[in-house]
Amino acid sequence: MTNVMVVGGGPAGLRAAESLARFGLEVTLVEQESYLGGAVARHRYQVLMPHFDSGPAVLDRMVSAVAENPRIHIRTGSRIGQVEETDDGFQVEILGRETGVESVRAVVLATGFTHFDPRRDTKYGYGLFPDVITGAELEEMMASGPVTRPSTGEVPKSVAFIYCVGSRDRQVGNTYCSRVCCAVSAKQGIEVREQLPGARLVMFYMDVRTYGLWEDELYWRAQEDAGVVYVKGRVAEITQRDGRPVLKGEDTLVRGPFEWEFDLVVLAAGMEPGEATAELAAQFGIEREPHGFFQQTRPMENASVTSHPGVFVAGAASGPKTIEDSVMEGEVAAMAVLRYLDSKVTV
C-alpha cells in the first residue's frame, strides 16, 4: 500500500490528507500540536472572513472528515526527526509519543505560518501596555466572551485597529503584504460593532487590500453598516496616558499629525514563515523563497510543486493565504501527489 506523509494538520494539511485517503492512499498526518485545525483551532476563530461562516462548524467538518477516515493515521504531538531519501521516496523519523520511522513515497508540507511578534517593533508598546493586543488575541477574546479591556475588564468605548504590523515594513525585514489582515480587521470591526453599538471604531491603514469580491462584503459593510471609520496614516508610536493607549502618527490624507486615545488597540500582526520551515526545507531538500516561505517552483502550472520531486507544499507554508486558498492548495497538492505516483500507485 502506498504511503504518503502530510506534515501539518491545519486547513491545508487536513484537506490534502482527506483527498489522498479518498483516492485510496494510506496517509500519515503528522501534527506537532495535540489537536488538529491549525490556526483556526489555536485562536478559536468564531466567524470567518470573507463570508462570515461559523469557524467552529467549518473546523468540525474539516477535522471530522480526517478523523473518521481509517486510511488516515493521525500522529498529533509529533514532529519530523531524521529524513533519509530512498530509491522510491523517504524514510522519515517521527518524534513524539510513539517515535518510529515510516517509509513514504511522497510528502506534503503544510506547516502553515507563525504570527509576527509585535514585541520586535517597540513602537507599538505591545507587551508593555496591556490594552494593546493582536488580532489573534482579539479572536481568542471573542471566542471566550465579550470584548473587554484586559487592564480593567471594562467594556471599551473606543477601539483602534492598526494595519500592516510586521508586514510591508522594511525595518522589521518583512517587505511583503500578509494578504488577509485588512479583511480580517474589517470582519473584526463588524463583529465588535455588534457587541459595542456605541463605541468608536477606527482603522488606521496604509492601503486597504480587501481585494476582489471582498470589497462589498467587508470594506463597504464595515464603513456603511457598522460605522467603522477608516483613517489613512501610519502610526508612529503608541504610548500610554492615565492607563489608556495613545496613538501618535500622521493622517496622510489631510496631512496632519494626530494624537488619539483609545481604550483598546488591536494590532493586525502579519504572517511569517512557520518556525520549522527552514529545518524542513533542509531535511527534504527543497528551496525557500526570499522571505523564508517554501518556494513554489512552478506556481503558474501547479501551486504545490517544489524543487524536489515527491515533495509538495500547500497553504500558508508557501506564503500568506486565506483558509479558502489553503484548502484549495491542499486539494491541489493531493492531486499533484497522485500525478507524481501515477502508474506506480497501487491502491
Return residues touching ligand SF4 (CB under 6 A).
163-164, 167-168, 177-179, 181-182, 207, 209, 268, 270
Cα separation of 285 and 308, whole Å? 6
Q: How far is the CB of 47 from ligand SF4 (least distance, A)?
A: 18
Residue 120 binds which of ligand SF4, ligand FAD, none (CB < 5-8 A, kind-dependent): none
Tell me how far, at minimum, the Cβ of 57 lies from ligand FAD, in Å: 13
By three-state DSSP, how is residue 165 classified? strand
How far apart, in whole angstroms, are the C-alpha atoms of residue 254 and residue 231?
A: 10
Which residue number, 38 or 233, has a Cβ lying nearer to ligand FAD? 38
If the CB atoms of residues 18 and 345 are measured against ligand FAD, the closer one turns out to be: 18
Helix pair angle (55-67, 11-22), 10° resolution: 40
Q: Angle between the 11-22 and 323-341 helix axes, to the nearest 10 degrees?
A: 40
Sheet holding 89-95, edge to edge: 79-86, 89-95, 100-104
Any idea how long the chain is?
A: 347
Beta strands in 221-255 (DSSP E): 229-241, 244-251
CB of 336 to ligand FAD, least distance (A): 16
Out of ligand SF4, ligand FAD, none, what residue 167 binds, judged by CB under 5 to 8 A for its kind, is ligand SF4
Cβ closest to ligand FAD, residue 89 vs residue 315:
315
- Comparing CB distances to ligand SF4, the nearer of 3 and 167 is 167
Task: Show Cβ contacts of residue 160 under 8 Å, excluding neighbours closer than 6 positions.
Answer: 202, 203, 204, 245, 247, 260, 262, 264, 265, 266
Residue 293 CB, shortest distance to ligand FAD, in Å, is 11
Rounded least distance, CB 174 to ligand SF4, Å: 9
Beta carbon of residue 228, minimum distance to ligand FAD (angstroms, whole number): 17
Give me the least distance between CB of 218 and ligand SF4, in Å please: 11
- Give ∠ CA 171-177-178 in degrees, rounded to 5: 110
Which entry of ligand FAD, ligand SF4, none binds 13, CB below 5 to 8 A by partner kind? ligand FAD
- What distances in angstroms separate CA 278 from CA 34, 157, 301, 314, one per listed residue? 22, 43, 24, 16
How many angstroms separate the Cα of 227 from the Cα of each of 81, 200, 201? 51, 8, 8
**Contact partner at residue 179 from ligand FAD, ligand SF4, none, CB < 5 to 8 Å by partner kind:** ligand SF4
Q: With CA atoms as reference, report the closest residue to 325 among 307, 288, 299.
A: 299
Binding site for ligand FAD (CB under 6 A): 7-13, 30-33, 38-40, 45, 48-49, 79-80, 110-113, 115, 135-136, 139, 180, 184, 274, 276, 315-317, 321-324, 326
Q: Which does 92 bind (CB under 5 to 8 A by kind): ligand SF4, ligand FAD, none?
A: none
> Residue 177's binding partner, choosing from ligand FAD, ligand SF4, none, with beta-carbon cut-off 5 to 8 A by kind?
ligand SF4
